[in-house]
Amino acid sequence: MTINQNKTTLVVTLLRVLVGWHFLYEGIVKLYNPDWTAYGYLATAQGPMKPLFNTLLHEGTMPWVDTLNMAALLIVGVTLLLGVFERVGAFIGIGLLALYYLAHPSFPGLPQINVEGNYWFVNKNLIELMVCTLLFYYPTGQYFGINSLKKRKAIKTVEK
């Protein structure tokens, strides 16, 4: 079986745009809502990492946690959508999703809070995390994205 390189690239590029879209929208909604806070999400953390997440719940630390989370979401969204520094974006995305997963892991025995489906170890956060890993190893910015302009510029320079 041969892999159609072009179609694979097209599908991965689309995947990149969709993940970027998702992150950006989450970031924007938080950016425009000053009352938003991750307090509730962290306060209800479950599983082995619960104590770690609960230590963040201080008056002094919460604004930092909220701002960093929002900024990270925006960075991942912008880089993946525009196809620039996309590997940095994918890497940050992996980190964020790992934190989301660990705060509310879909482990058997833990009550599933605020989920719309049924999960056993694997949930949507984990799947999106793996997608980000794919994007990290399979950058597509040179086909669709600002990186393609950079590449072009580099070729032109060499031709001179």
Regarding 11 and contact with another protein (CB under 8 A), the answer is: no
- Binding range to another protein, per CB under 8 A, among 4-12, 100-108, 126-134, 139-147: 139-147
The CB-of-17 to another protein minimum distance in angstroms stands at 7
Regarding 59 and contact with another protein (CB under 8 A), the answer is: yes
**Under a CB-based contact definition with an 8 Å cutoff, are residues 141 and 17 in contact?**
no
CA 68 to chain centre: 13
DSSP 32: T
d(CA 115, CA 47): 16
Residue with tokens 């001179």: 160
**Residue with smaller CB distance to another protein, 119 or 144:** 144
The CB-of-145 to another protein minimum distance in angstroms stands at 6
Regarding 49 and contact with another protein (CB under 8 A), the answer is: no
- Binding range to another protein, per CB under 8 A, among 96-104, 120-128, 130-138, 151-159: 151-159
Distance (Å) of CA 84 to CA 64, 88, 114, 136, 138 = 26, 9, 34, 12, 13
d(CA 138, CA 44): 35
Regarding 39 and contact with another protein (CB under 8 A), the answer is: yes
d(CA 70, CA 66): 6
Task: Using CB under 8 A, list all residues that contact another protein.
Answer: 17, 20-21, 24-25, 27-29, 31-33, 35, 37, 39-40, 43-44, 59, 77-78, 81-83, 113-114, 143-146, 148-149, 152-153, 156-157
